[in-house]
Structure 1
Amino acid sequence: MAQPGRLNAADIQHAPPGKHADGGGLTLVVKPSGRRSWVARITTDGKRRDIGLGAYPTVSLDEARLRTAELRARALLADARHVSARNHQIAAAPTFAHAAAAVHALNAPRWRNPRHAQEWLGSLHRHAEPLMDLPVDRITRADVLEVLHPIWHDKPETARRVRQRIRTVLSYAMALHEHIPSNAAGDGIDAALPPMPRVRNHQRALHYRGVPGALTRVAACNSSSAAKLCLRFLVLTAVRSAEARGARWSEIEDADAAWRIPGERMKSGTEHRVPLCGQALEVLEAARELDDGSGLVFPSPLKPGNPLSWQTLLKLLRTNGLDCTVHGFRSSFKTWAIEATTTPWAVGEAALAHVVGNTTEAAYVRGDLFEQRRELMAAWADYVAPRPRRRKST
């Protein structure tokens, strides 16, 4: 899902002359001539600088965000070194808090889930607070263990994530400061941390036999049309929640009955073209009544101009007594494709926008298997949302 205030491909193409902020210091500048270029505003030592990043589309949106994040990360560390020098500290290494902020700024453009970006830094402030004011070159294994021990058994999954994030921050600091001898959160502390059982939490999913009844139940409920149509479209196309909720009319190719999702909205970062079956096209036809001028196929009825939130679809399932997650419908689809059809495995993987096989195998699968996927998705739609059969005339 695109974050509020962030640009997308459609915004860039249709932006009028002027300056259009993407957030994080990145701005799209559109000249009266129509020329589009990127400018990053960076603050170093209290002074603002505007740095040109190049013209669009030569420099893509993702590349502009990445370059801006890198510039911000460098600026944060430079400020930390200046503070250290002014305080006459022996080492110019930044504090853990400064290094964590730099790593967060560098990676935030890559994270497509805004909740993850917020939680990444928030978990460190909550659980690694004793490290925050320490220079990264003075953090010891004992300091890291002091943070991890209280949560290692009580909150094992949180503890794993916190350790991994501490290790990432220290690895980044090591790359910039050669005098940091080792990573205090690395393998050296394993012996002091008792092993935890590895529990893999799969997304709860309905058996594929239960999906038709679930769609019927949802269609008959009193929830908003936007939520009901969005969930139905998601099931019929087997896409992820954010991809369905962020669908835009500009991505729909009526002539080819296809939906072209740009790479910036895909988890893989690669464009994905989805064949649209008859039932999916019917959903789109019904969704035209929801048009609020934003370009979104399923705009929020509560916040016009914004996509539905992820909680909306989950609440729709809960309200109808369905014990599954939204993402679980992808598992239902894949299990159906394996057990109820003779579809080749690669076609099912391609329908889910998964990378097919390893690097060598992928080299031989050059196409996107689009026509094979069209047949598969049509069969899936006929299974979960069969159309009434027409009576033959006598």
Structure 2
Amino acid sequence: MGKLSATAVKAATRPGRLGDGDGLFLLVQPGGTKSWVCRVQKNGNRRDFGLGSASKISLAQARERARQIRTWMELGLDPLFERRKAQGVPTFKEATAKVLTAHRKTWRNEKHEAQWLQTLKAYAFPHIGDARVSEITGPMIRNVLAEIWLTKPETARRVRQRIGTVLDWAYASGYRESEAPMRAITKGLPKQPKKDGHFAAMPYSRVPRFVLKLRERESFSRLALEFAIFTAARSGEVRGASWDEIDLEEMRIGVQ
């Protein structure tokens, strides 16, 4: 028999924590809002699980939810993961949509988001798009990457990183019991061919127009690239240059 009653829950106004027993508590906030929390301790580890607002969850419902959480813990299951499963685990496509929404404010521009999504649509969705994120295994991810790992190495690495981001979100949100083994997957794939490391030179006649286009941008990298073009300095020297290495007076004389 619990210590609280429905009447006591309704009448509670003083901020604090009221115990019902077996780890179930009613939290009363200074503003008057009330919510349920279940505290469980096992093997020396204590965890609190929110059960919802007391305005929507009755005392009887809170007791039942707390009882379920304690049962999961006794069985060695993660209550957060089990609750997510009960609510419905999203597919990889659905999880991707949630990740894009969460990261939208951090994208450099809309084009970056479009490219991010397009790679998954083209290479991941046909294989794992409709699979629940809780069911996606290492071999499934490896099969996605294996088709393009050697023929499109740069794209494959981007697909790998983006799949990892979606599954990291799923794990952190309680939809997966473990992280995706991305490092092991990479080791299970053949070694990619080395990059050539060289890019084709721009024809001299196109440089003036390129510089004009470059000046439309507002960034330090634009200035660095323009400096490299006009001085023929190596990119590493430009990136690591300091002001004491540049003689501004000599540059002015050269311009005159």
C-alpha separation in 2, matches of 1:177 and 1:205: 50
Aligned residues: 172
C-alpha separation in 2, matches of 1:348 and 1:171: 45
Shift of 1:120: 0.7
2:241 corresponds to 1:245? no
C-alpha separation in 1, matches of 2:234 and 2:244: 7
Mark the runs of 5 or more structure 1 residues left unpaired by the alignment.
Answer: 1-84, 219-227, 235-240, 247-260, 275-326, 350-371, 388-394
Match of 1:94 among 67, 74, 90: 90
| TM-score, structure 2 normalization | 0.52
2:137 corresponds to 1:166? no
| TM-score, structure 1 normalization | 0.35
Instruction: Give the aligned partner of residue 181 of structure 1.
Output: 178
C-alpha separation in 2, matches of 1:178 and 1:89: 7
Alignment of 1:144-293 (within 5 A): 144-177=141-174, 179-184=176-181, 186-199=182-195, 201=197, 204=200, 218=208, 228=209, 231-233=210-212, 241=214, 244-246=215-217, 266=219
2:18 corresponds to 1:122? no
Match of 1:346, as an amino acid? S
C-alpha separation in 2, matches of 1:117 and 1:329: 28
Alignment of 1:5-24 (within 5 A): none
C-alpha separation in 2, matches of 1:89 and 1:179: 9
Alignment of 1:59-78 (within 5 A): none
| CA 334–142 in structure 1, closer or farther in 2 if over 3 Å, else same | farther
| CA 95–333 in structure 1, closer or farther in 2 if over 3 Å, else same | farther
Instruction: Give the aligned partner of residue 40 of structure 2.
Output: none
Contact 1:108 1:117 in 2 (8 A): yes
Shift of 1:143: 1.1
2:218 corresponds to 1:346? no
C-alpha separation in 2, matches of 1:348 and 1:116: 37
Mark the runs of 5 or more structure 2 residues left unpaired by the alignment.
Answer: 1-82
Shift of 1:121: 0.4
Shift of 1:157: 1.3
Match of 2:104, as an amino acid? A
Identity %: 28
Alignment of 1:267-346 (within 5 A): 329=226, 331-333=228-230, 335-336=232-233, 345-346=241-242
Contact 1:112 1:267 in 2 (8 A): no
| CA 107–245 in structure 1, closer or farther in 2 if over 3 Å, else same | farther
Contact 1:205 1:328 in 2 (8 A): no
Per-residue CA deviation, residues 45-71 of structure 1 (Å, 9 max, x unaligned), is xxxxxxxxxxxxxxxxxxxxxxxxxxx
Contact 1:99 1:169 in 2 (8 A): yes
Could you say which structure has the larger radius of gyration?
2
| CA 121–157 in structure 1, closer or farther in 2 if over 3 Å, else same | same
Shift of 1:233: 4.8
